[in-house]
Structure 1
Amino acid sequence: MIRVQNQDFDINHEYQLLASKAEAGAIVTFVGLVREMNLAKKVTALHLEHYPNMTEKSLRNIVQQAKQRWELIDVTLIHRVGTLGLNQQIVFVGVSSQHRREAFAACEFIMDYLKTQAPFWKKEHTESGELWLDANDKDTAAAKRWQR
């Protein structure tokens, strides 16, 4: 399941959907939050924009790549857009598989590719003004390690 939405999501509900598959032996989840500090600036909010068709296509591609690499039972990827305040949830990635190694690897892979390949535009609101963000070197290096 892939969703891009303005409204918040319920982690417990999403987990229960993943856990409803009897063959699942492992579920790994990740939730990204709006943090207070970035680039040595105090963040007050984060604004995310996207082009709907382009974004959903990109997210489907990332999930499909994960499913080709690992034996996965199910994947949930939810990404919020709009203006979010501090500590609000931005992204949920949930992966179920029979074994933990596949679930951990796939979850990490999806997040690494999401940070560098998904067409979201992020603008931080800080005490000193607004700043559009690009993928940083750390995220780019993390995604490169998955290249074959």
Structure 2
Amino acid sequence: MRCPFCKEEDSRVIDSRSADDGNSIRRRRECSKCGRRFTTYEVVEKTPLMVIKHDGRRVQFDRDKLLKGLIRSCDKRDIPTDRIVALADEIERELRNTMEREITTKSIGELVMEKLKNFDEVAYIRFASVYRKFADISMFKEELEELLREKREK
């Protein structure tokens, strides 16, 4: 690592600690030439995750859009915001762990529904009604019957 003071390329690590809740490593370094100390941070490089829309367009994954959809689904439910944020984190982590650089909106929607089904059934039905574009009450009924059938089988 290049010294920010004298530009020497040789430095040694004198201390390493976890930072940012384990998402990065803070390193204290000492320059071998001038002896001055400086701090660096090491983080995992995130490759962009691209979303393939229904019309074939590609856009960068937007975590805020995911979170807004989850919050909307959980509206007027007694669910703490930190649990909803944790669910968004879990979904994003699972999407990134696929190691795919591109993912379809269909895959994202299905994963969100799978996670919501175990998280909160009302939020699940709300999300499903928008995601699957329920046109009438019979579509709600079919989804509810499927949810009840799965619940009985557990």
TM-score (norm 2): 0.29
Q: Could you say which structure has the greater relative contact order, defined with CA pairs below 8 angstroms and 6 or more residues apart?
A: 1
Q: Which entry has the higher C-alpha Rg, 1 or 2?
A: 2
Give the number of the structure whose residues are more often strand, by fraction: 1
Give the number of the structure whose residues are more often helix, by fraction: 2
